[in-house]
């Protein structure tokens, strides 16, 4: 996915919106902060989440960091390949490093997230 067209949360998650589905992961800034990721604890498919609720956790060098749902809805897919090899979250966060897909309960929530320019600005703070 092209980072320019994604939407961003303040917690450094991104959402790539296609129709009613948001493909979510953590940003390049977030993966850099975490360092080498050793483990991704994926959410359960079918889980209903509200925007901002903890979806799953990512572990890097003995630090477990929570990942939040950037939009409300139901988890409809998870990137199972990360269970065997979490490296894409570091190497390709906007591509093979996606973590879960949410079927959005309210598509307007995605529009309330930051665009790339706004996210760049907070990252540089």
**Residues at the contact surface with another protein, assessed by CB under 8 A:** 11, 32-36, 38-39, 41, 54, 57, 59-66, 68
- CB of 61 vs another protein, minimal distance in Å: 5
CA distance 65 to 59: 6
**Which DSSP string do the residues of 61-108 spell out, in sequence order?**
TTEEEEEE-SS-EEEEEE-THHHH--HHHHH-TTTTT--EEEEES-TH
Minimum Å gap between C-beta 60 and another protein is 6
Cβ proximity to another protein, 65 vs 72, nearer residue: 65
CA proximity to 113, closest of 49, 68, 55: 68
Bridge partners (DSSP) listed for residue 57:
41, 66
In the complex with another protein, the residue whose CB is nearer, 20 or 65, is 65
| In the complex, minimum distance from the CB of residue 41 to another protein, in angstroms, rounded to a whole number | 6
Which is closer to another protein, CB of 40 or CB of 75? 40
């Amino acid at each position: 996915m092209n980072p320019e067209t994604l939407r961003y949360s303040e917690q450094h998650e991104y959402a790539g919106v296609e129709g009613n589905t948001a493909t979510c992961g953590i940003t390049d800034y977030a993966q850099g902060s975490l360092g080498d990721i050793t483990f991704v604890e994926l959410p359960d498919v079918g889980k209903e989440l509200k925007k901002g609720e903890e979806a799953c956790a990512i572990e890097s060098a003995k630090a477990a960091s929570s990942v939040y749902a950037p939009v409300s809805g139901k988890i409809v897919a998870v990137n199972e390949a990360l269970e065997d090899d979490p490296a894409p979250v570091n190497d390709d966060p906007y591509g093979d490093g996606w973590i879960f897909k949410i079927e959005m309960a309210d598509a307007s929530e995605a529009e309330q997230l930051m665009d790339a320019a706004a996210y760049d600005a907070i990252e540089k703070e």
